[in-house]
Structure 1
Amino acid sequence: MRIQQAGTIALGPGKVALLEAVKEHGSISAAARSMNMSYRRAWLLMDELNRSLKSPATVAEHGGQSGGGCALTSVGEEIIRLYRGIETQAYAACADDISALTRLIKR
């Protein structure tokens, strides 16, 4: 599922996966590395997401020996929860059709 806003993808599977990686790794750079993505690409995706929201999904953490990091806000946590819940419900509702499509794929 993708949600578009003004011609750009405001929210989709890639941005949700990146939010999950930021949550797991505590920084955009570590999240990007875990996804084999450049830091610049990850930063641009998070910036695009945050600009499309009423309140940001991430917040920069400053200081410390490692120079800070990035954490999810309650909005970021809610996005992951809602998005994954929608996926689960959609999969359950479409299980028969997904199975039929899968049978059409060459093995």
Structure 2
Amino acid sequence: MIGPGKAELLERIDETGSIAAAARDMGMSYKRAWSLIETLNAMFDLPLVASTRGGPGKGGAVLTERGRAVLAEYRAVEAAARNLGAAHMGQLHAWRRKPLAAEG
């Protein structure tokens, strides 16, 4: 569905107003970025990105209201997972063997 890479692409499009600039920032081809956007737009009930075609200075891309909502919800899921994971990681760290003095 949506993962860290697609979320970053959406954020960069929101920041730059351009699919090409977002792709460039991520070291991704425009074709790959456009393919990911098409996939995202097709999988949700409303498009996440709206783009206008045009040459230099005439085209652009923006996140739609649904795009911003999906991105915010994904980031909330990430934060919840980090918080839940932190509690479990604390227990795992508590069970670790303590280094011997000779091990440093």
TM-score, length basis structure 2: 0.79
- 30, 40, 46: which one aligns with 2:31: 40
Report the Cα offset of residue 64 of structure 1: 8.1
Report the Cα offset of residue 65 of structure 1: 5.7
Report the Cα offset of residue 96 of structure 1: 3.2
Distance in 1 of aligned mates of 2:62 and 2:72: 16
Name structure 2 gaps, 5 residues minimum: 97-104
Tell me whether 19-28 or 60-69 shows the greater mean CA deviation. 60-69
One-letter amino acid of the structure 1 residue matched with residue 78 of structure 2: E
TM-score, length basis structure 1: 0.77
Q: Percent identity?
A: 42
Given the superposition, is the C-alpha separation of residues 29 and 83 from structure 1 closer, same or farther in structure 2, using an over 3 Å criterion?
same
> Max radius of gyration: which structure?
2
The answer to whether 1:97 aligns with 2:88 is: yes
* Aligned match of 2:18: 27
* Aligned match of 2:76: 85
Distance in 2 of aligned mates of 1:50 and 1:98: 36
Report the Cα offset of residue 97 of structure 1: 3.0
Distance in 2 of aligned mates of 1:34 and 1:58: 17
User: When you count strand as a share of all residues, which structure comes out higher?
Assistant: 1
Q: Which runs of 4+ in 1 moved over 6 A?
A: none
